[in-house]
Structures are given as C-alpha cells and as structure tokens.
C-alpha cells in the first residue's frame, strides 16, 4: 500500500480529505497531513511518501514551489495540485513541473478518487517495469556467489529444506549437488600471518585461498565454499561424474581429497606466504549429514588448538568412534531465546517438540541421561531469561507445581520434562498476550480521551500518535485491531455526533458549531455533515421535534 501526503494551509480541508475519502480502496495505506510546505518537506524527510496532493496558494511556500522542491529531491514522488482558481498560468506551471493532475477546488470526492486511482495504477505499472525479468536476472547473477555461500552457511547451521524446495534452490543457484550424493568437507583455518594480512579484508584473503582450491581440485571435484562463524573457510566437495573413472587404482575419493588438501596447504604457503591448518572430513550424504560432518570436522580442529600452526588433520586421525550424541536441534537457529524474544510461541512449541523427538531418538544408540540434563538447562535457562527480560519474577508467573522445576530438576523421564516445557511455555505465552491486550486497551483509552479533549484543535493522526508516543502507522493498526474502526473514521464520527449534540441542545449558529468540532471552514463542515447524515446542519435542526 502507498503513502500519501495532503498539504493545505486550511486545517479543515486537510482533515476533511483525510477523513472522508476511502483511501484504502484507492490503494493508499497511510495518510499524512501538513499545514504548510515546510512541514510537508519535513514529513517527506522522515517517511517514504509516494503521492503528494497540495493546494497551490499557501503562505510562505506555494504549492508550485513545494512540488518543485519535491521533484528535485524525490523525483519518483507523484504530485496532484489543487487550486481555487481556473488560472491558465497555474496550469502551465503544473505541467512544467510534471504534476500528474490539476484539480479545481472545491473538488468533488469522485473526481479526487478517480485521479488518485489513476495515479496509483501508474505507479504500480512503473514498479512492475522496474522489476522486469532481465534486470532481476542481472542482479541475481551479480549476487550469485553470495547467495551460494549463504545457502551453505544455512545448511551448516541446521536449516532444513523440504525436498522439492532444496532441488529447486540448488538448480536456481547453479549448484551441481543432488540429494543422497556422497560429499566430503575441508575446514581451513588461516594462521597468524595470513589472518594478520587479512585483518583489513578477510573476504579478500578468503577469495585468494578459494581460487587456489579451485585451481587444485577442479578436475575431480565440485567445490562449494563459505565462511563460518569462527572465520574458518568451509569447503563442501563432491566428485564430478566425469572424474569417477579417472583416478588411479587404489585411490578413493577420501584419499584423493586428502592429497589435494595437502597440495592446497603447500600452495597457500608458496603463493600467499602464510600457513593454513586443514581438517579433512570423512564422507557422508548430502544434505542430511552436512551438519554432523561439519561439527566433527570443526571439533577435530579445536582439539588441536594451541599446537603448532599449519596442522593437517584427517578423519582417520580421530580415535573416538562413538562420541556422546549432541542434541543439534537445541542449538540450531533460530534458537529458543530468539524465538521467545520475537514472540513466536507456536514456533517455540514446534522447536521443543523437535528437540525431544531428537532426544528420544538418540536413546536407540546412547544413554540419554546426560543429554536430557543438557536439554533441561537449555530450556529452563531460555524460559528464565525471557521472564526476567519482561520484568517479571518466575514465581509470580508460574504456578507452584511448575515453578519447582526451576528450583531443581524434578523430572523422572524425558516425557515429563517435555510436558513441563510445553506447559511452562503456555504460561509465558498467556501472560504475554494478556499484557499486550492490556497495553492496547490503554492506548485506545488514551487516544479517545485526547481526541475528546482536543476535538476543536489538532486531532490529526500525527498529533495523536505524538501524544501516545507511537509511530502513526503502528497506532492506526493497533486502534483498528482493538476497536474494529479506523482511527480517522472514529474522529470523523465523533465530530458528527458532537455536532448533532450541539444542534439538539443549543442555539449556537452553524459556523460556531463547526468551530467547536474542529472545522474552521463552515462550507466544508456543511458538506461533510450532509455526507454523514444526508442532511445539512440547518435541515437537521429544522427537522427536530419541537
């Protein structure tokens, strides 16, 4: 949805247009108001305005001067000029400034709506042209290496694609890998001299090393690389189909990979004048075992930290054939804490179920007591963190039977711990939702009180938003969600109801009542009143029972 800015030095004109035109049906999502050219330019600086409708004759800065300034700084913004005079000179200046339309005041709702709808259609057509296939394709090719690197990084950190999405994305990113294919991995750590050289631009050194890798390995292997959170270069490899028949008797993909890794280490020393350590993985299946292979290969590197630089580690060097199972889903992004901070409670519940599914599945091969302990501390810690971050005490939010789990592990089985986790999550979710409802109700009450007290003054959306210290767009959404009525519609309705009250209970003249409900222009007041009640104010008063 687009954003529109209404500019006129008469407040009643601006507010009437804001309240009475069905902007959403015209394709407008947010309406901004300004009573001068200077205020309009300030709003332009702070919001992504698409359309400006401005009066021509205004003090200090005319509408022509305003749209000239707008087109110089924001050439994409479209403008519509309003004028109370059918002056050919104004029309010529509007054409010269490429204003979309020139409408005479008082403009009818139908004419304004028709003009805005045509302009919205024109803007959308421009967007569609800008997003043409050819331009998108060029941009895609420019960013292809980064997109490839990002996808591998996601796979390393546990992202799971459904089979069709995975195949489609591999094809889109021109990656010659297939589900179930054998894969190997190299983890490369730059040692002190290289890392010091790369301090200014790590990506440049990564590029140089990956060029050497490609030169050495391209005959036999497909190569896919990224840089992980430790600043290690991670290289995923698979055998090229054309190369499966070309290696010597007695060679395997594993031995070939180790030979190439040793050559890469030598070439980096020779050409880049620095040392790298390399850890060579065992082989696994794509994509299911990427995460496990990565963790084991990184662990091989970590175990030897502090030893001489320029290490060369292979999978055959590992002696622990049956390590304790790690609950990987516990640490895969998005983490429990990040999901709780985002208020994504359904996703938290799904993640907890996934964690316990993995935990119980590992029971087939390992004693899960240690892993269950790890899961307990991770989940309890995440819950305690979010409760405290929200300014609450655990004991005040969680019932006694669940609170005792925070005091000490009180589960007998993994299923009991899972039940407690889901139950506690629901307590946290219910508290957050109740707090949000209470907060929204408070906002609505504050808005209504402000509008009621200042109805004769400035009750524009920016003024109300400033009073409750919220962004105008967010305030509009909160108010509509809480009451079912748009905020501008509420202000309009309240003005009409107050006007009727004064017509019924006082002898005030129509222009006096117009001022009491915030309309400085009596003609505009009469117009909007008739639109609301299908009678002018005077006709309404005359039809009152004696």
Residue 96 pLDDT class (50, 70, 90 cuts)? low
What is the spatial distance between Cα 223 and Cα 380, in angstroms, rounded to a whole number? Answer: 41
For the domain made up of 145-317, give the CATH fold. Alpha-Beta Plaits (3.30.70)
Of 273-282, 295-304, 511-520, the poorest mean pLDDT is in 295-304
State mean pLDDT over 296-324: 70
Q: For residue 279, list its beta bridge partners.
A: 187, 313
Which pairing describes strands 233-239 and 182-190: parallel, antiparallel, or unpaired?
antiparallel
Evaluate if residue 470 carries a pLDDT over 60. Answer: yes
Q: Name the strand (E) or helix (H) holding 110.
A: helix 109-130
Number of H helices, E strands in the chain: 23, 11
Name the architecture of domain 454-542: Orthogonal Bundle (1.10)
Q: What is the mean pLDDT of residues 3-15?
A: 91
pLDDT surpasses 60 at 172: yes
Residue 141 CB coordination number (10 Å): 10
Looking at residue 371, its pLDDT comes to: 87
- Phi-psi domain of 217 (left: phi exceeds 0; alpha: psi -120 through 50; beta: other): alpha
Over range 197-201, report the average pLDDT: 59
Q: Pull the structure tokens for residue 246.
A: 């070309």
Q: Would you report the helix, strand and coil content of the chain in percent, each value rounded to 5?
A: 60, 10, 30
Residue 50, burial from CB neighbour count under 10 angstroms (0-12, 13-18, 19+): buried
Residue of 346, 539, 488 lying closest to 4 (CA atoms): 488
Q: Which of residues 152 and 206 earns the better pLDDT score?
A: 152
pTM of the model: 0.55
pLDDT of residue 256 exceeding 70, the answer is yes
- Reply yes or no on whether the pLDDT at 73 is more than 70: yes
Residue 408: per-residue pLDDT: 85
Whether 320 shows a pLDDT value over 60: the answer reads no
Cα-Cα-Cα-Cα dihedral sign, residues 312, 314, 319, 321: positive
Mean pLDDT across the stretch 302-314?
73
What is the chain's mean pLDDT, rounded? 87
Tokens 């509509």 -> residue: 480
The bridge status of strand 182-190 relative to strand 276-280 is antiparallel
Residue 376 Cα to chain centre, angstroms: 31
The Cα 121–Cα 475 span in angstroms is 27
Would you state the pLDDT for residue 308?
Answer: 60
* Lowest mean pLDDT, pick from 130-139, 315-324, 338-347: 315-324
Q: Which of 20-29, 125-134, 423-432 has the lowest mean pLDDT?
A: 125-134
Categorize the per-residue pLDDT at 310 as very low, low, confident or very high, splitting at 50, 70 and 90: confident
Q: Do residues 93 and 64 make contact, with C-beta atoms less than 8 angstroms apart? A: yes
Position 144 scores a pLDDT of 92
Query: How many CB atoms are closer than 10 A to CB 295?
Result: 15
Q: What is the pLDDT of residue 266?
A: 93
Under CATH, what is the fold of the domain 2-130? Rossmann fold (3.40.50)
Domain boundaries, the chain: 2-130, 145-317, 328-436, 454-542
pLDDT of residue 328: 81
CB 279 within 8 Å of CB 187 = yes
* 299 class by beta-carbon count within 10 Å (0-12 exposed, 13-18 middle, 19+ buried): middle
């Amino acid at each position: 949805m687009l954003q529109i800015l209404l500019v006129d030095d008469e407040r009643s004109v601006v507010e009437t247009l804001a309240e009475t035109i069905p902007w959403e049906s015209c394709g407008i999502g947010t309406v901004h108001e300004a009573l001068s050219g200077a205020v309009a330019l300030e709003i332009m600086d702070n919001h992504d305005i698409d359309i400006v409708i401005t009066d021509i004759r205004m003090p200090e800065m005319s509408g022509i001067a305003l749209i000239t300034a707008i087109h110089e700084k924001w050439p994409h913004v479209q403008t519509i000029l309003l004028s109370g005079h059918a002056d050919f000179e104004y029309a010529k200046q509007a054409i010269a400034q490429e204003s979309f339309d020139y409408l005479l005041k008082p403009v009818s709702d139908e004419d304004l709506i028709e003009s805005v709808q045509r302009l919205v259609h024109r803007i959308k057509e421009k967007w569609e042209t800008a997003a043409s296939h050819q331009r998108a394709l060029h941009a895609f090719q420019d960013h292809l290496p980064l997109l490839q690197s990002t996808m591998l990084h996601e796979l390393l950190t546990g992202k799971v694609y459904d089979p069709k999405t995975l195949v489609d994305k591999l094809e889109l990113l021109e990656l010659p890998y297939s589900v179930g294919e054998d894969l190997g991995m190299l983890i490369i750590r730059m040692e002190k001299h290289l890392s010091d050289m790369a301090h200014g631009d790590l990506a440049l050194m990564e590029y140089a090393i990956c060029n050497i890798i490609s030169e050495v390995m391209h005959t036999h292997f497909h190569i896919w690389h990224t840089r992980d959170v430790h600043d290690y270069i991670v290289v995923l490899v698979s055998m090229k189909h054309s190369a499966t028949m070309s290696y010597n008797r007695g060679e395997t993909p594993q031995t070939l990979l180790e030979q190439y890794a040793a050559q890469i280490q030598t070439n980096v020393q020779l050409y880049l004048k620095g040392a790298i350590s390399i850890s060579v993985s065992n082989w696994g299946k794509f994509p299911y075992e990427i995460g496990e292979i990565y963790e084991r290969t990184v662990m091989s590197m970590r175990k030897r930290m502090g030893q001489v630089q320029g290490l060369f580690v292979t999978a055959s060097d590992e002696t622990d054939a049956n390590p304790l199972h790690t609950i990987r889903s516990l640490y895969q992004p998005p983490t429990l804490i990040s999901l709780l901070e985002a208020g994504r409670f359904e996703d938290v519940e799904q993640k907890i179920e996934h964690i316990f599914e993995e935990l119980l599945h590992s029971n087939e091969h390992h004693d899960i007591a240690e892993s269950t302990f790890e899961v307990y501390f991770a989940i309890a810690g995440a819950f305690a963190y979010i409760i405290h971050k929200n300014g609450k005490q655990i004991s005040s939010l969680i019932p006694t039977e669940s609170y005792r789990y925070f005091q000490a592990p009180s589960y007998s089985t993994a299923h009991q711990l899972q039940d407690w986790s889901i139950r506690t999550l629901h307590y946290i979710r219910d508290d957050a939702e109740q707090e949000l409802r209470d907060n929204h109700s408070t906002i609505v009450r504050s808005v209504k009180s402000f509008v009621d007290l200042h109805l004769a003054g400035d009750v524009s959306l920016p003024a109300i938003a400033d009073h409750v210290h919220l962004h105008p767009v967010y305030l509009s959404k909160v108010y509509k969600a809480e009451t079912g009525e748009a905020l501008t519609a509420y202000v309009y309705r309240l003005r009409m109801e107050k006007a009727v009250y004064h017509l019924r209970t006082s002898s005030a003249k129509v222009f006096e009542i117009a001022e009491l409900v915030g309309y400085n222009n009596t003609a505009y007041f009469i117009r909007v009143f008739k639109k609301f009640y299908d009678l002018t104010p005077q006709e309404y008063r005359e039809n009152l029972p004696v």
